[in-house]
Structure 1
Amino acid sequence: MASIEAVNEGVAIHGSISKQAQKILTPEATAFLALLHRSFNATRKNLLQRRAIRQAELDKGVLPDFLPETKHIRENDAWKGAPPAPGLVDRRIEITGPTDRKMVVNALNSNVWTYMADFEDSSAPTWENMINGQINLYDAIRKQVDFKQGEKEYKLRTDRVLPTLIARARGWHLDEKHFTVDGEPISGSLFDFGLYFFHNAQELVNRGTGPYFYLPKMESHLEARLWNDVFNLAQDYIGMRRGTIRGTVLIETITAAFEMDEIIYELRDHSSGLNCGRWDYIFSVIKKFRQNPNFVLPDRSAVTMTVPFMDSYVRLLIKTCHRRGVHAMGGMAAQIPIKDNKEANDAAMNNVRQDKLREVRAGHDGTWVAHPALASIAAEVFNKHMPTPNQLFNRREDVHVTANDLLNMNMPGKITEEGIRKNLNIGLGYMEGWLRGIGCVPINYLMEDAATAEVSRSQLWQWCRHGVKTAEGKTVDKAYAQRLLKEQTDELASKAPKGNKYHLAAQYFSGQIVGEDYADFLTSLLYNEITSVGPAAKL
């Protein structure tokens, strides 16, 4: 076996390495990252190229369908996913959020069952955010995360077992430009996974859980196969039993919805189920069919979980998961308490309650919240209607979902100027925060992340591309979109503190909403603005 020094030949770090970061970026850890990159990056790039080929087919009007070549997997009742791992039997309430130290402490102190620590959609991937997130989770796992901010102390609770930790790595499409191997940036996925796994896997097992992950943005079962290969190599490398890692896959692309069985099958011994990533899923539907006038959606507020294509997606996910013995997790409640308006707050919290009631009755085994105050509402609903640790026994054999059901865009709703302005505000608000290194932004008492900004951007692009008419009778074209963009930008910038980045956000947004250029992801489009790649630091 090659020495650590030999493996690290060709590895370069182009970001600052603080004293704290040195305990994460050890020679042994960077050698592991280099191994992951050299083993899997070529496959990753091939899979990303397959995405581009698939998009070209969709642009020509070829609609997705269940794969004929994997029909034998879907029709075979004999195979199952792994039984729930320690700490993942009951996941009824999961809180999600970025990995800054304050969030880590507050999330682990919340009355929830698990905490999804997010390196992805709610984190802006500055070098400092990514490295500090790894440090914070390393410390939290060892219960060394307490700190003081001003006069306030943040300490982990000691009166109960803390929620099970699940880390979400970045998607396959994102690079980590501050860490290169043989002159090439490492995948953000492999960087996030590799550092977290290498330092914490055995410690987590020793403490009674394990290295658990959420896997985002996948578009096919072949991308799940790549994750499974990564898991196997990682476990073999440190001498850990295969199957110790568990991954929950977010079904947040329309193409993945046609391959749910296959995705669980690829991960089998490492599978801990699927999750309804609702906002990214809506984004994916618009994105993938953006050239097709039959898929133009109304205002975002009209695209609820009860419209046909969303309801079909949920029912198929639950049936698929429970048939295979793995968890079917519900979606995000993004509401934030409205402290200065009791009536509005009561209405918002009632919406959360109704959403969670719909999920538990449908058969979900748990759900997401973005704020600790929502945990008690969600728990009250799930505790009442799910007295067991999960609902894996609820097979939903009454469900029969076809390809047409998943693609059924029939729904009430209009496209309005108010809806356009809301999309502009959400997109600008999120991008402005992201450009300042903040990955989740409260807007109108909702916690917006990259997924909701993507819905806003893609809807605007789609409406312009197809020249739709608003309910007020106005044709949505380039001039109209850019006029409203300028109005909203000027208004937001005038109310924000000096030095805000609204006009910079608008420069990027302007090219993305007029039905012409379309970046694959906003996060990829903006990445260089928050990336400061310096000269290589010595390891």
Structure 2
Amino acid sequence: MTVKGVTVLGKRNAQYDEILTDPALAFLAALHRTFESTRQSLLTARIAVQQRLDAGQYLDFPSETAHVRADPSWICAPPAPGLEDRRVEITGPTDRKMVVNALNSGAKTFMADFEDSNAPSWANMINGQINLRDAILRKIDFIQGGKSYKLSKNPAVLLVRPRGWHLDEPRVLVDNRPISGGLFDFGLYFFHNAKALVASGFGPYFYLPKMEHYLEARLWNDVFLFSQSYIHIPHNTIRATVLIETLPAAFHMEEILFELRNHSSGLNCGRWDYIFSFIKKRRADRRAVLPDRKDVTMEVPFMDAYVRLLIQTCHKRKVAAMGGMSAMIPIKGDEAANEAAMNKVRADKLREVTAGHDGTWIAHPLINKIAMDIFDKHMLGPHQYHVRREDVKVTAADLLNTSVSGQITEDGVKSNVSAALAYSAAWIAGNGCIPLNNLMEDAATAEIARLQLWQWAHHNAHLDSGDVITPGYIGKVVDGVAPNVKSLVAGIKDEHLAIAVSYLKDQVKRPWASDFLTSDLMVYLEKVDGAKWVRSSL
């Protein structure tokens, strides 16, 4: 390797070196040197916002961009090839089997995920890049366990979700500093595949997670302009859908579209991360204490307002308003339970299409037909941009409305403890997406579980029995639940479960819970990687 200033601490082999080429690493270095200072300033700005919220200030729509929201003349780019109809999108991590099955699922698109359903071990990140490259080149066919996996003639259109701005890639240093995880994921995928995607009639398409401010969208847009120029493809070839999955971003929807307007393909209701962010951003506000996770549905006031505003905003600017993920998965061996679960999926997808969404997310190929049938019946065209939702008048107070019915129960505490422990233990082993109690749990749902436990203990919330929730009480629940976790999720090791137990007990005692469990637990992936690497505290 001869790229000046670039150090790769992750393992290398002949296959990995096909991705970690000198030209690709030089591109990553250029991205880092051009945009890292801006990324860091935006992350610092997030801290300042949280401090103001902790001091009692409420979020509101930004006054300095009122003219953007008031101007009816601007619209976003037209749908790019393959993104005209997105009625069902399947999502999942980038392991080879998942990539083939998702692309063959019958869904319109596949969002290959380097973020919340992926534990970012070095092997996962680089093998994921290899798998996506091979899929684009139609060289991904393989045999496993005597079964042949072969890409269909007309697979789903590929979109890629890189990591959020807050995460580093500690195994690649530029000038002795870790590169942004998001730029690493985006950069390698874009550099190796953009021209091939364009040649095939499509383009490099992305989902952008975890943004909290329209200036963070501006940064992505600048990255896109730089990158397209770097490899000499036309500007506005890239398309990006932004997940509105943080509370601050809900107040910046139009501004985010405006910043990305020539590269935008819409917004998505990232519902689970949104609930997690709602708790985190309002952590100091006792009035924002929420009941059991199962009771925080899409029908509660603050979630309903968020959905209605997103659909109105997207259709006003002529882009897709994508619905979110139903966490239900098929249940084997119990026909009655499976039918009840699938009926919940049907109700969820019917709610989305009748509200005006242009598509929805699924996590399992067997749910594709359910979602597709409902959207086919109720959405006769490729989208619903004509559903303007001019009846919608969402205020800041609506987005902050915590009038949520329900109670905090012992079963709710146990369910959260189980989800947080099981997911954290699996994640440490390199697995970022687990089935648990007939739900698909990823980082977002695990984060809700963790933050709710902290919120209940921090504010001394009461169970429906009248008992006060304390860190000690949660600690006892953790001790009681932990022995059963290994029976719920295959492959969990004692050493990883012990780390998860210690971590969760510590979290509920803290004055403020950590921002992200993925940041906290990243250090334990060193053992998965088999090498030491440098932290961002350099």
TM-score range, shorter chain: over 0.9
- Give deviations 1:157-192, integer Å, cap 9, x for gaps: 13xx21110000000000001100000000000000
Residues of 1 paired with 2:139 and 2:486: CA distance? 40
Tell whether 2:330 aligns with 1:337: yes
Percent of residue pairs identical: 57
Partner-residue secondary structure (3-state), 1:166: strand
- Give deviations 1:427-476, integer Å, cap 9, x for gaps: 11111110110000100111100000000000000000010110011100
Aligned to 1:290: 283
Q: Is the contact made by 2:425 and 2:492 (CA closer than 8 Å) also made in structure 1?
A: no
The structure-2 alpha-carbon separation of the partners of 1:444 and 1:183, relative to structure 1 and needing over 3 Å to count, comes to same
Q: Is the contact made by 1:463 and 1:515 (CA closer than 8 Å) also made in structure 2?
A: no
Shift of 1:502: 1.3
Aligned to 1:526: 521
Aligned to 2:400: 407
Shift of 1:348: 0.4
Shift of 1:346: 0.5
Q: Is the contact made by 1:460 and 1:514 (CA closer than 8 Å) also made in structure 2?
A: no
Root-mean-square deviation (Å): 1.3
Q: Is the contact made by 1:511 and 1:517 (CA closer than 8 Å) also made in structure 2?
A: no
Q: Is the contact made by 1:332 and 1:370 (CA closer than 8 Å) also made in structure 2?
A: yes
Tell whether 2:446 aligns with 1:453: yes
Aligned to 1:165: 158
The structure-2 alpha-carbon separation of the partners of 1:10 and 1:169, relative to structure 1 and needing over 3 Å to count, comes to same
User: Equivalent of 2:32, from 34, 37, 42?
Assistant: 37
Partner-residue secondary structure (3-state), 1:268: coil
Q: Is the contact made by 1:461 and 1:516 (CA closer than 8 Å) also made in structure 2?
A: no
- Give deviations 1:128-179, integer Å, cap 9, x for gaps: 0000000000000011001111211111113xx2111000000000000110
Residues of 2 paired with 1:424 and 1:157: CA distance? 41
Residues of 2 paired with 1:284 and 1:490: CA distance? 30
Q: What TM-score, normalized by structure 2, do the two folds share? A: 0.97
Aligned to 2:259: 266
Shift of 1:19: 1.2
Q: Is the contact made by 2:453 and 2:508 (CA closer than 8 Å) also made in structure 1?
A: yes
Residues of 2 paired with 1:526 and 1:147: CA distance? 33
Residues of 1 paired with 2:235 and 2:485: CA distance? 51
Partner-residue secondary structure (3-state), 2:226: helix
Residues of 2 paired with 1:312 and 1:265: CA distance? 21
The structure-2 alpha-carbon separation of the partners of 1:110 and 1:535, relative to structure 1 and needing over 3 Å to count, comes to closer
Shift of 1:497: 5.6
Aligned to 2:177: 184
Q: Which amino acid aligns with 2:479?
A: K
Aligned to 2:22: 27
Q: Which amino acid aligns with 1:276?
A: C
Aligned to 1:499: 493
Aligned to 1:307: 300
- Give deviations 1:496-516, integer Å, cap 9, x for gaps: 668342111111111112353
User: Equivalent of 1:472, from 444, 447, 465?
Assistant: 465
Aligned to 2:191: 198
Shift of 1:493: 4.3
Residues of 1 paired with 2:271 and 2:512: CA distance? 25
Aligned to 1:357: 350
Structure 1 runs of 4+ with >3 Å offset? 493-500, 532-536
The structure-2 alpha-carbon separation of the partners of 1:89 and 1:498, relative to structure 1 and needing over 3 Å to count, comes to closer
Q: Which amino acid aligns with 1:52?
A: I
Partner-residue secondary structure (3-state), 1:205: helix
Shift of 1:9: 0.7
What is the 5 A alignment of 1:72-471?
72-158=67-153, 161-471=154-464
Partner-residue secondary structure (3-state), 2:260: helix
Q: Is the contact made by 1:432 and 1:505 (CA closer than 8 Å) also made in structure 2?
A: yes
Residues of 1 paired with 2:504 and 2:201: CA distance? 46
User: Equivalent of 2:44, from 43, 49, 68?
Assistant: 49
Q: Which amino acid aligns with 1:132?
A: N
Shift of 1:535: 7.7
Partner-residue secondary structure (3-state), 1:153: strand
Partner-residue secondary structure (3-state), 1:512: helix
Residues of 1 paired with 2:517 and 2:209: CA distance? 16
Q: What TM-score, normalized by structure 1, do the two folds share? A: 0.96
Tell whether 2:5 aligns with 1:10: yes
Residues of 2 paired with 1:208 and 1:333: CA distance? 31
Partner-residue secondary structure (3-state), 2:507: coil
Q: Which amino acid aligns with 1:109?
A: N
Tell whether 2:59 aligns with 1:64: yes
Q: Which amino acid aligns with 1:84?
A: P
The structure-2 alpha-carbon separation of the partners of 1:40 and 1:209, relative to structure 1 and needing over 3 Å to count, comes to same
Q: Which amino acid aligns with 2:140?
A: V
Q: Is the contact made by 1:493 and 1:503 (CA closer than 8 Å) also made in structure 2?
A: no
Gaps of at least 5 residues in structure 2 are none
- Equivalences, count: 529
Comparing 508-517 and 59-68, the one that deviates more: 508-517
Q: Which amino acid aligns with 2:149?
A: Y
